[in-house]
Structure 1
Amino acid sequence: MSGKAWYDVSPSAARLTGSLRDIGYDFPTAVADVVDNSVGAGATRVEILIEFDGTESRVYIADDGHGMSPAGLLEALRFGTRRGYGRGELGRYGLGLKTASLSQCRLLTVVSRSSKSAVRTCARALDLDLIEEWDQWVIVDPANTDPAAARARQWLAEGTGTVVIWQLLDRVLPEKRPEGGWARRRLDSLAARTAEHLGMVFHRFIEGAAGRPQLVLTVNGQKVEAWDPFARQEPATKELPMQRFEIESPGSVGKVELHRFVLPARDRFTDPEGFDRLSGPLNWNRQQGLYVYRANRLVQWGGWGGIRGIDEHTKLARAAVEFDTDLDAAFNINVAKMRVTLPPQLRQLIEPAVNELCVMADDSYRKTSRTSRLVPTNLGAPAEVRAASQAAATAGLALRMAAMEADQWSAWERIEAVLREQSPEVVHLLGLNGI
C-alpha cells in the first residue's frame, strides 16, 4: 500500500445484514446449520424447542458441548469470523450461525458456559432492529430481564454448553394474525419437517457411525430417528464394492469414496412401512442418485449430478459420494452448506461405476416387474421353459455388464435401440425392455 492513497469503505451494516437474510435457508436447513456448530463443539445431545406464543414465539437450540468464553462468543457472532477451521470441521465461511438464524428471526441471542467448575455464563445478542437503527455492526449484552436468556442460563446450570435463541420470528410467523390457529399449525408443521430433515442430514452422527460418540437430537421432546438412505439394515439390499478416487484441489490432493447400493423392491422389504419411509422427502424417483457427504454430514441428496437422467427403472439405485473438508474448494460448496457441484474430473471418473450401478438397479426393478406380471400366467409352464427364460434374462444382464466393463456403453445403447426396432422379441427375451 506504500505510496498509494487508500480508503476504508465499510459496508452498510443495515443493508448487508438485510441482504444476508436471503442467502437461501428455509427453517429446517437453518436449524441444521446451527446444529453443525453443536457438533463442532463436541455435543452429544442437542435439544430443539419450538414454542408457539403468538408474536412472542421462540426457538431454542440447546447443546451440551464445550461452550464458549465471552471472547469466543463475541467472535462467533462476528460476520465472517476470524477463527480458522480444521480438517473435518463442519463450519467453513464463518457465517452459518448468523445467516442461518437471522434468515428466520430478527433477534438472535446466544448464551454459553465453558467452565465445568464455575457456574458462569455469558450472553450476547444480534438485534437487527438495533443494527438498522445505528447502521453499525453491534453486538449487545441482553438485559437481565430477558426471560428467554434467563431460561437458557437455568438450563446451563448443570454443565457446559450453548443455547441459541431465536426471537421475533418475522420470517416464520404470518405477518397478519401471528397469534392465530394457522400460525400455531405452521410451527407444528415446521417442527415435524425439522425432525425429518435432521434425521436425514445427521443420520451418521445419530447412528454413532461418524467416528464420534452417538448424537442424540430431540425436537419438542421427541427423539429424532436416523434416516439411512441406503437401507443397510435390509437383508435384500445389495452393496457393490467401494471405489476410491483422488481429486486435485487448489494446493492439495484429496480422496473421494464412492459407495453404491441397490435397494430392495417393495416386495423384498421386511415390511411395507419401511419401503414407504425409504422413499424419502422427494419420493423414490427423485431420491435415486448421489448422496454427497461432507465430513460425514449429508449435504445433498438425489439426482445424478449431470451423469445421467432420472429413470423409473433405476429408482432403486443410490450411491454415497464422500469427501472431507480439504476438498471444499473442488466441490464448490455454498455458504448454506446445502449444495455442491461435482468436480468435472470426478464426474468422469465415477461415470462407469454409476452406469454399472444403474444397470444392476434396472435389472432388479425389471425382475420384480416380471415376477409380478408373469408368474400368474406362467405357473403351468414346464420347468425347463422357466429356466430358459431366466437364463435369457441373465444373459441380457451379462451383455450389459460386458459393455460397461469394455467401456462401450454408448455403443451398447445404440445396439439396444436397433434391437428394439428390428427384433423386439429378442429384446423381450433378454429382459432389456419393460413388459
Structure 2
Amino acid sequence: MKLSSAAPSAARLTSSLRDIGYDFVSAVADLIDNSISAGASDVAVEIEFAGPDSKVFIADNGSGLNARGMTEALRFGSRRGYGSGDLGRYGLGLKTASLSQARRVTVVSRPADRKRAIWRALDLDLIAEFDDWVLAEYPHDQAVARSEEMLGAGTGTVVVWQNLDRVLPASGAEGGWAKRRFEVLVDKTKRHLAMVFHRFLTGENKAPRITIRVNGDKVQAWDPFVRHEPGTQQLATQRFELESAAGVGAVQLRRYILPGKRTFSSVDAFESAAGPLNWNRQQGLYVYRENRLVQWGSWAGTRGIDEHTKLARASLDFTSTLDEVFNINVAKMRVSVPAQLKQMLDRPVSELCILADRVYRRQNADTVDADPDDDVVEREDKAPMSGPLSEVGLALKSAAIQSGDYEGFKKIMGIIRDQHPELARGLGF
C-alpha cells in the first residue's frame, strides 16, 4: 500500500477555526477549564484596554507546563489523553478559544522543576507567512514580563491574547467607543463566569473550589436556582441511565420552582435572579458536564419558552462518559439532549412547569406582574384567568401526569382549545 501526505494548509485551517462558535466570554471560560484541569485554586483574568496594544491575561496557580507540555498545549488536536472527569475534550480549546479573539496567543508557564518561566506563541501572521504549524519564542517583551509578575514565585500558567482584532474595532481602536466596549466586556465576563462556574466558586457537589478574579474583583457565584431564598421549592430528584460506547452513564435531574416577585426576600434579590438573559429566557434546563454549566436558557427541545413557566428551572447533570451521547461541541457551549432522554424528561418537566404555572398565576391573580424586559408580556385584556376553573385545569394536568398518560391528555387539551377556546383559556390550557 502506497501512502502520501495530505496535511491541510496551516494558514487556511487556522483561519477557518477562528469561527468555531466562541464569543469573548465563552472563550475566557474555556481557558479557565484548562486552569481547573491543572489543579489551580486561583484564576485571575485581566482585560486591559490600551488601544491597539490592548491585551487579555488569564493567569492561574496550577501545576504549570514544561517545554513538551507547552508544545502539546499549543498543538491543534493535542496528543494528550482525556480521562473521566476531565473538563477538556477535543484538544482544541486553548487554541480555538484564544484565536477566536486574537491573532497571537502567548503561553507563559513555570512548572515545579524550573526556576524560570518558559514561553511560546502561536501567531496567525507567522503561520500565514510560512503556511506551516509553527510556534515562536519571541524576545522577553512587556507581555512576558507582566506574565512573570502574575506568576510570582510559584507554579502556574498565564495565557496572553494580543492583537485583538476580533475585540477591537477595525478603525478607532483608541477611541471612546473601544474603551467602553472593554468596560462592557469586563462586566459581561464577571456575570458569565459567575454562572458557568458557580459550583466551583462554592465547592458544591464535590467540585474543586476555586477563586476567580476579573480585573481584581472577586467573582461571586450566581446560583440559577436561588436555593438560599426561603420561597424556593425543590421537587423530587430524578435519575436516569443512558448507554454509550464508554458504558452506562447516569443523568440526574433536579427541579426547582423559584418564588414569585412578591415573595422574594428583596427586590434586589429578584432582579439578580433574573440572570444575564432575563426571566423568560433564563427558565428551563441548566445542563452541567462535570459540574461545569454548558447550556442554559431553554427546555432543550422538550417544550417551548412560556411566560407562565418562567419560575421553573432545573439542573441536568451528566459526566464526560456520556459526551458522545450528548454530542457536546468544541466550545462546550451547546449539547444535544438525546431523544431517548427527552422522552424520560417529558413527565417530570411537565410536572415542574405545571406547578410553576400555578405559582405564577397565584402571584398574578390580581395584576399581571411581567417584566418589561421579558420576551412575552401579557396584556391586561389577555391576562390569565384565575379562580375555580383555572384550579380545575391545574388539577387535571397534575392528575394526567400522575397517571402516566400526559400525552393523551395533551391531545384532549388541543381539541378543547380548537372547539371551546374560551373554556380552554379559563382552564389554563
Give the structure-1-normalised TM-score: 0.90
Aligned to 2:155: 160
Aligned to 2:376: none
Tell me: CA distance 1:103–1:425, structure 2 relative to 1, closer, same or farther (3 Å). Answer: closer
Aligned to 1:140: 136
Which range moved further: 312-321 or 208-217?
Answer: 208-217
The count of residues paired between Structure 1 and Structure 2 equals 411
- Residues 202, 226 of structure 1: 8 Å contact kept: yes
Give 1:281 deviation, angstroms.
Answer: 1.9
1:64 aligns with 2:64: no
Tell me: CA distance 1:91–1:308, structure 2 relative to 1, closer, same or farther (3 Å). Answer: same
Distance 1:213 1:335 in 2: 23
1:184 aligns with 2:143: no
Tell me: CA distance 1:409–1:213, structure 2 relative to 1, closer, same or farther (3 Å). Answer: closer
Give 1:433 deviation, angstroms.
Answer: 2.9
Aligned to 2:353: 358
Distance 1:345 1:412 in 2: 21
Tell me: CA distance 1:405–1:125, structure 2 relative to 1, closer, same or farther (3 Å). Answer: same
Give 1:399 deviation, angstroms.
Answer: 2.6
* Structure 2 residue corresponding to 1:101, chosen from 95, 98, 101: 98
Give 1:155 deviation, angstroms.
Answer: 2.4
Distance 2:165 2:247 in 1: 43
Given residue 205 of structure 1, which amino acid in structure 2 is its aligned partner? Answer: F
1:125 aligns with 2:116: no
Tell me: CA distance 1:210–1:160, structure 2 relative to 1, closer, same or farther (3 Å). Answer: farther
Aligned to 1:17: 14
Distance 2:180 2:304 in 1: 37
Aligned to 1:40: 37
- Residues 289, 318 of structure 2: 8 Å contact kept: yes
Aligned to 1:368: 363
Distance 1:228 1:150 in 2: 37
Once the two structures are superposed, residues 310-338 of structure 1 have per-residue CA deviations (whole angstroms, 9 ceiling, x without a partner) of 11111111111100000000000001110
- Residues 111, 153 of structure 1: 8 Å contact kept: yes
Tell me: CA distance 1:133–1:427, structure 2 relative to 1, closer, same or farther (3 Å). Answer: closer
Once the two structures are superposed, residues 37-56 of structure 1 have per-residue CA deviations (whole angstroms, 9 ceiling, x without a partner) of 00111111111001111111
Distance 1:418 1:174 in 2: 54
- Residues 207, 291 of structure 2: 8 Å contact kept: no
- Residues 261, 317 of structure 1: 8 Å contact kept: yes
1:348 aligns with 2:354: no
Which range moved further: 397-406 or 64-73?
Answer: 397-406
Distance 2:168 2:18 in 1: 16
Given residue 102 of structure 2, which amino acid in structure 1 is its aligned partner? Answer: C
* Structure 1 residue corresponding to 2:428, chosen from 410, 423, 433: 433
Give 1:391 deviation, angstroms.
Answer: 7.6
- 2:204 aligns to what SS in structure 1? coil
Aligned to 2:73: 76
- 2:239 aligns to what SS in structure 1? strand
Distance 2:110 2:124 in 1: 24
5+ residue gaps, structure 1, are 374-388
- Residues 142, 149 of structure 1: 8 Å contact kept: no
- Residues 257, 312 of structure 2: 8 Å contact kept: yes
Distance 2:421 2:56 in 1: 64
Once the two structures are superposed, residues 2-34 of structure 1 have per-residue CA deviations (whole angstroms, 9 ceiling, x without a partner) of xx1211111111111111111111111111111
Give 1:241 deviation, angstroms.
Answer: 0.6
5+ residue gaps, structure 2, are 369-385
* Structure 2 residue corresponding to 1:411, chosen from 408, 412, 421: 408
* Structure 1 residue corresponding to 2:196, chosen from 192, 201, 226: 201
Once the two structures are superposed, residues 99-144 of structure 1 have per-residue CA deviations (whole angstroms, 9 ceiling, x without a partner) of 00011111110011111x7522111111111111011101122212
Distance 1:393 1:181 in 2: 54
Aligned to 1:54: 51
- Residues 10, 132 of structure 2: 8 Å contact kept: yes
Give 1:371 deviation, angstroms.
Answer: 5.3
Distance 2:233 2:58 in 1: 38
Once the two structures are superposed, residues 338-362 of structure 1 have per-residue CA deviations (whole angstroms, 9 ceiling, x without a partner) of 0000011101111111111111011
Aligned to 1:320: 315
* Structure 2 residue corresponding to 1:401, chosen from 398, 412, 418: 398
